[in-house]
Structure 1
């Protein structure tokens, strides 16, 4: 680490802050996208709050007429808070179904995993450590097949999960931006749902991490098993990354809701 460059970076952050600039740290472009949505909602909420206070102190009479042809009107311009919340709930339902399918597959392959382990134990029991290599290879082949099928299920669901997450939080961020204008709108129900999803996602993450460790610790018996291990671990890492992004997006939205509630006090 270059200490001189680090000092310059800290100095730049201070300059940005005093000049009204915004900055944050992020790990990748998707994190940047999710953070940007949440932070822009906060900035918009802050401006709306300041504008509301200004309107109370000053009498402002202004009228703006915007005329557009029907061809130039984007359908999304007509969306309201309830529309965005429905989109969010629909996409989250899709995402939950996909995660549930992957969770069921993880439970099933875990059961098969234990069965193969018991078969190996039975194979060597009472033999002083010796075993029939042909029978052992058969068990390794079955284990490899189990892992390959499991990986195929994960890979089929990851694109669905990713698209659902992106569209869900995009709609939610737009809905929150609209809710800023609705002084009496209570986001507490939404916050409770988000907190429930956060608990579910964290639990799923912990379970998948445990299973990933079990797969990674499999002995290097055959080339088929080694390939199946590598493919499965890669798929699990992709799922875990998706869950991590979901958790991060959810935490950011909850923080935004808390900030809005605080500003309205």
Structure 2
């Protein structure tokens, strides 16, 4: 039986240094079409110059792209990392021109499109990959779009980008569906309509398929494992701090050129400090991997739970509110942890270069703490993205008299 399908076009704009992200965007959209899109009778089409343009002549290559694509899209996704791109005859880069055209389209008609922009924070693989002029242009562009009213998101790695894009696309599409008054056609908030949904082959037949509660429970178990690793890291940090606290003044004294103590004693005490610092780095490194892996898996499972929310109609708004409050507190705790770890890292970085062992241990501990701060930044970003989607669902339920009952 024929059915109405809503086609939404997603335009992807970026310089050439985010190839992995562009590939991930395609995977995210394919996954959306097989899950959320299938349920809502919505299909996303990824629009890229590589697939949607053909050779032609214009003022320049970007002009050809503009004329052929004609700004025919519903969602604009922009990505930048370390490269800004090179000038067209109208703007400072092709990506900047594409963003400005999207901005003008939105300003003329705010209902015509949605704009989402992402900036990557990960470090380049090599110093040879850094072009200071390009980096300055990226920073200037970021400042400019912020002044224009754009709320952009930052991410640390490709996996972070994948999770954020999945979260945000789901939310944007649901908003479009609601604005088109399709939501009431697909999902009711009465008991009868809730039962009808279950009868319409919306519940998966595969016995191994997870349900929404499975996702929440399994997701919580991974989040708990991640939190356990974070607590272990902080405990190791506190143990190390306590161990050297009494030695702090003396160790600083050792670093003084006027210290009246023989050089061999200085060396022995310095090596003792280096061994303690190296031991701290060796302890936290495995926990860093567990923290990142378990937390990412937990957020992925929670996100899957929200993705299927409208499919089965969850009415337990109090449980969702509890989940939201838990993540809100979690976000706050991450910020507090980051603050303390930043102070600790700075103290390690400022410690005197007493000998080669201290220098090596200081470098390794600083690198481990830097990785931890990067993981915590990513966690903050993902928690905020998940919480935004969760809040949207809670608002939807409350605006429809409490939602359906299971």
Q: TM-score range by the shorter chain?
A: 0.7 to 0.9
Please, which runs of 5 or more residues in structure 2 have no aligned partner? 1-83, 121-156, 189-195, 400-406
> How do 1:133-172 residues align onto structure 2 when only pairs under 5 Å count?
133-172=263-302
Q: Provide the C-alpha distance between the structure 2 equivalents of 1:122 and 1:212, rounded to a whole number of angstroms.
A: 21
Aligned to 2:333: 200
> How do 1:92-111 residues align onto structure 2 when only pairs under 5 Å count?
92-111=223-242
**Paired residues, what number?**
255
Query: Alignment partner of 1:24: what SS?
Result: strand
Q: Which has the higher helix share?
A: 1
Check conservation: 1:13, 1:23, Cα contact below 8 A: no
Check conservation: 1:179, 1:185, Cα contact below 8 A: no
TM-score after normalising by structure 1: 0.83
Aligned to 1:261: 394
Aligned to 2:70: none
> How do 1:221-240 residues align onto structure 2 when only pairs under 5 Å count?
221-240=354-373
User: Does 2:35 align with 1:35?
Assistant: no
Q: Provide the C-alpha distance between the structure 2 equivalents of 1:121 and 1:22, rounded to a whole number of angstroms.
A: 53
Q: Provide the C-alpha distance between the structure 1 equivalents of 2:296 and 2:255, rounded to a whole number of angstroms.
A: 50
TM-superposed CA distance for 1:192, in Å, is 0.7
Provide the alpha-carbon RMSD of the alignment: 3.2
TM-superposed CA distance for 1:138, in Å, is 1.3
Structure number with the bigger relative contact order (C-alpha 8 A, sep ≥ 6) is 1
User: Does 2:125 align with 1:10?
Assistant: no
Q: Provide the C-alpha distance between the structure 1 equivalents of 2:306 and 2:170, rounded to a whole number of angstroms.
A: 7
Q: Provide the C-alpha distance between the structure 2 equivalents of 1:40 and 1:251, rounded to a whole number of angstroms.
A: 15
Q: Provide the C-alpha distance between the structure 1 equivalents of 2:104 and 2:114, rounded to a whole number of angstroms.
A: 8
Q: Provide the C-alpha distance between the structure 1 equivalents of 2:304 and 2:117, rounded to a whole number of angstroms.
A: 21
Change (3 A) 1:206 1:124: closer
Q: Which has the higher strand share?
A: 2
TM-superposed CA distance for 1:226, in Å, is 0.4
Change (3 A) 1:234 1:24: same
Which string of whole-angstrom CA distances, capped at 9 and with x for unpartnered residues, describes residues 98-135 of structure 1? 1111010000111123233243367799xx74222222
Aligned to 1:79: 210
Aligned to 2:117: 24
